[in-house]
Structure 1
């Protein structure tokens, strides 16, 4: 279980998170929701250890794979090459590079219609790039997967494909998804933590 206790974070004079208390159970998917400026991205970055809280503690996250809001892809190489760059021998699970590339392409084909394996990601649409980033995060071995707005730029059909991919490849890991859409929790069969403007986290 990931446990957050009294998480506080301010930037200059602005308080973003104020005494946040939350628990994310083992083997669960949870959507963090809230209006813009409520601190959703700041909170998941603190969980991942990418930022430090001013006060409070995070326990239980372990190794984290992270899908950022920004694509962070190298546009002049293929999707498979982008994913290969972040994987190491531990992620290969004993496979050689040729086999691993085959597995990567199979994963990409699950979420991309008519997957253009030989094209650079610079030719992809925004929604296609988001799905490449999703596969990259899910294929990295970790204890926790954090996905920050993973469905951006996707229509309903491709969002369903992406949600099914997450559920299939989560492998029992805690999965935390930042989203604006309550319906996303239904697609993921997940719970919701609502991060409100008064800094309280409510379970729905």
Structure 2
């Protein structure tokens, strides 16, 4: 059976009235139980945020929910579009560490405007230039 790609889109694409746990559970299906989802999210977010509606979270917190959701869904490929938006350097390093831990051999394609992110995540830079001159 073929697994789809998991994605972090430029917009977080979360259900705003759902909690972070519910947002991940909705996509993970039966592959993950709520206690495990809560444990994983608590590694990226303050625990008091985990059962609140996503609409009450900051942009950086929503981004972390989107990142966790992509990493916790079974897939062969991870696509991440600007996953570190709204994060300071320390938080970004924590999220990168989490991504590297959870990548688990999957191909990661990540777009970023910050070249230092490529080194932090242990990737290879592919620069796209003049993409609009078609």
Fold in common (TM above 0.5)? yes
Which of 68, 85, 91 is the equivalent residue of 1:152? 85
- State how far apart, in whole Å, the 2-side matches of 1:115 and 1:175 are: 30
What is the CA-CA distance between 1:116 and the residue it aligns to? 1.6
Counterpart in the other structure of 1:88: 29
Counterpart in the other structure of 2:4: 63
Structure 2 residues without counterparts, runs of 5 or longer:
none
Question: Which deviations, in whole Å up to 9, do the C-alpha atoms of 1:47-106 show, x marking residues without a partner?
Answer: xxxxxxxxxxxxxx96211111111111112100011111223x33xxxxxxx1111111
Contact (CA 8 Å) 1:109, 1:115: kept in 2 or not?
no
Output the TM-score relative to the length of structure 1: 0.60
> In proportion to residue count, which structure has more helix?
2
- State how far apart, in whole Å, the 1-side matches of 2:131 and 2:56 are: 42
Question: Which deviations, in whole Å up to 9, do the C-alpha atoms of 1:119-161 show, x marking residues without a partner?
Answer: 1111100000000000000011011001111000111111011
- State how far apart, in whole Å, the 2-side matches of 1:137 and 1:144 are: 10
Contact (CA 8 Å) 2:82, 2:110: kept in 1 or not?
yes
Contact (CA 8 Å) 2:79, 2:110: kept in 1 or not?
yes
Q: How many residues align?
A: 131
| 1:87 match: secondary structure | helix
1:181 has 2:122 as partner: no
> In proportion to residue count, which structure has more strand?
1
- State how far apart, in whole Å, the 1-side matches of 2:84 and 2:95 are: 8
Structure 1 or 2, whichever has the larger Rg, is: 1
Question: Which deviations, in whole Å up to 9, do the C-alpha atoms of 1:149-178 show, x marking residues without a partner?
Answer: 100011111101110010000111111111
**4+ residue stretches of structure 1 with deviation over 3 A?**
none
Counterpart in the other structure of 1:129: 62
